[in-house]
Amino acid sequence: MSSYLFSLTFSEMEKLVPGFPRYRYAQLFDWIYKKRIFDLNRMTNISGDFRNILKEKTIFDYPAIEEEKNTSDNTTKFLFKLHDGNFIEAVIIDSVKRKTFCLSSQVGCPIQCRFCASGMYGLTRNLDPGEITGQFLLLSRFLKKLPDNVVFMGIGEPLLNFKNLMDSLNIICSEEYINFSQRRITISTSGIPDGIRKLAELDRQYNLAISLHATDDITRARLIPDNASFPIKEIVEASMEYFKKTGRLITIEYTLIKEINDSLSQARELAGIAKKLRAKINLIPYNAVKGREFTRPEDRICFSFYKKLKDLGAHVTFRLEKGSNINAACGQLRANKISE
Ligand code: SAH
């Protein structure tokens, strides 16, 4: 059982701190999840004996905000320090229409995509469910309301921290706790067929985004190390199963990298895969990372790639490159902190 108070469900709480009437636990959860007050001393209706035993048996520690950076485009980036001194990142993306939280699932990343900052130092450890829920709660407290959407596109590979992610999402999405809609959550994966199938079996309404970045296995191998990369065919098949089982449309993420995956013939192939999967394509022009040799194609190349997809009838969006001027893209704030 986790030590973080944010990770505990009703029944776990009853086991850990037994002997109180159920409404006592409900009051506690109301302070945390509805009022977003995390300080026991400010929970005015919590009795002294309940308070003392809670202090003794649970850890109220939650990710602490170490750094906060704003940009002119209304993106706020947070560097969180965890109880063991590790760092993770989360972002609030504030567009006119909606507020999106981008959360981390692991400290570091085992996949180590060659173009990405998050995996530069490999995987340190999985996040505890409370550390995932904690990011959600602290950002909600900062925003003074719940977000419109949540995407797991921060540090880590969410499907390789499956159990903890699901435990956290159960707290975030169930009525008893935060009651946030499953349909407003997107899990982004580097493409792990077994993980995608496991998620499909749960039959939830989460959105699935797959980071394809290539239309053939040879090109993909230049971006994702062999030991972490699966054949595109298998990824597409598993994603198809997810779509069939849940009815949720799949998003294909495609980071456009100069002279690697930006040709018009690759656009054509991509349109074909998307059509087969009935997926939407999210194009992300590469955001340069210190220490990585890849570069972003010129704007006109990105645009012709986009136009080709459009002309072929694909449903495609350009991800506006938010946060690049504050090192906000994927693990860069943490990488800077580690290399200080
Ligand atoms: N492990 C998950 C979540 C990672 S971040 C996954 O792979 O999907 C979300 C997306 O941002 C992924 O598609 C990832 O490949 C992409 N990404 C990472 N670093 C990037 C960079 N520097 N520029 C553009 N996209 C990047």
Asked whether 190 lines ligand 1 (CB < 6 A), one says yes
> Measured in angstroms, how far is the CA atom of residue 41 from the centroid of ligand 1?
40
Question: What is the chain's length?
Answer: 340
From CA 37, how far away is CA 321, in angstroms rounded?
A: 33
* Residue (of 142, 191, 189, 193) closest to 165 by Cα position: 189
DSSP calls for 146-201: --SEEEE-SSS-GGGGHHHHHHHHHHHHSTTTT---GGGEEEEES--HHHHHHHHH
Asked whether 189 lines ligand 1 (CB < 6 A), one says yes
**pLDDT at 326 (0 to 100):** 41
Half-sphere exposure of 93 (CA within 13 A, CB side): 22
Q: Which atom of ligand 1 is nearest to the CA of 156?
A: 1
Question: Residue 1 pLDDT more than 70?
Answer: no
Residue spans in the chain of domains classed CATH 1.10.150.530 = 3-59
Tokens standing for 160?
A: 């390789």
Q: Is-contact 28 16, C-beta < 8 A?
A: no
Q: Which CATH architecture has domain 64-338?
A: Alpha-Beta Barrel (3.20)
pLDDT digits (tens, 9 = 90+) for 216-231: 999 999 999 988 999 9
3-state secondary structure at position 18: coil
The residue whose C-alpha atom lies closest to atom 16 belonging to ligand 1 is 255
Asked whether 223 lines ligand 1 (CB < 6 A), one says no
3-state secondary structure at position 228: helix
Nearest 10 degrees: Cα torsion 86, 131, 61, 136: 120
More confident residue, 60 or 248: 248
**pLDDT band at residue 290 under the 50/70/90 scheme:** confident
The residue whose C-alpha atom lies closest to atom 19 belonging to ligand 1 is 116
Cβ neighbors of 219 (< 8 A, separation 6 or more) are 260, 261, 266
**pLDDT at 39 (0 to 100):** 86
More confident residue, 45 or 55: 45
**pLDDT band at residue 143 under the 50/70/90 scheme:** very high
| Stated pTM of the model | 0.93
Tokens standing for 8?
A: 């505990």
The residue whose C-alpha atom lies closest to atom 3 belonging to ligand 1 is 153
pLDDT digits (tens, 9 = 90+) for 240-263: 999 999 999 999 999 999 999 999
From CA 84, how far away is CA 27, in angstroms rounded?
A: 29
Tokens standing for 311?
A: 């002309």
Q: Which atom of ligand 1 is nearest to the CA of 152?
A: 3
From CA 60, how far away is CA 300, in angstroms rounded?
A: 51
Cβ neighbors of 167 (< 8 A, separation 6 or more) are 7, 129
Residue spans in the chain of domains classed CATH 3.20.20.70 = 64-338
- Class at the top of the CATH hierarchy for domain 3-59: mainly alpha
